[in-house]
Structure 1
Amino acid sequence: MTGKRLIILACCLLGWGCEAASPLADRVKVANPFGSLFQNEQEVRQSLPVGMLISEAQAVLRSHGYDLWSVQRQTYRQAYTYHVNDLVRLRSSAEDCWIILYGERDAVVGVEFHPGPGDPPHPSGLQ
């Protein structure tokens, strides 16, 4: 076999270049490859459900491009404030926003979404 025929045969066996084969993107799940921002509170609540481990929720927020801004603690409850400063809109055309993650005993117990730039919001879940 010549070199070109061998390459074509190898590509067909691996599913590359054939219409019937699914592309690599369909076969491999990559969690948020571009670090897009959350658009609304519903997206935040779906990604950070109550009961999720705080460490996992923090990893999700970091993967979406959010940085930890502050941590406030009470005896049994913590409030983690996250913000993204994407002035040139590399991640998304959406507005910047603040997300407050509430935790008790290493689990998420609540989430707040505050759209728009500006000063950090006060965690209302800490009384």
Structure 2
Amino acid sequence: MRKIECYSVQKVAGDGRCLFRALVKGMAFNKGTSLNPREERENADDLRMAVKEVICENVKERRQYEEALVAITVEESLKRYCQRIERPDFWGGESELLVSDLLLHICPFCWSKEWSLSGLLTASLHTSFKLI
């Protein structure tokens, strides 16, 4: 017997914290609840700060997230990263997904769909996930 999976596409404000917004919206969706805009923003910022705490403030815990550290330090120094992640307009990416996966016990997956409109190619990223 196959389990039926239910997915939905949710709009997320593109304010820089959009990855974190998508994650908290998805977790709320999985629990059967929804977040108002204030809760969504606050929960997204809390998640961003949880990632910062694990990577930037706890050397012992940081060792559990070696893949994320590699992804971070390929682009910039850890010190610079730790300064940038404090800002609410910080763009999350691969390393934040890797940390969130382990920290929250979720399995996020992303897909991208491209389409052409009047000769313009546009890419759209939608983040979906389910708790594991």
Give the TM-score taking structure 2 as reference length: 0.25
Higher strand residue share: 1
Q: Which has the larger radius of gyration?
A: 1
RCO greater where, 1 or 2, for CA within 8 Å and sep 6 or more? Answer: 2
Give the TM-score taking structure 1 as reference length: 0.25
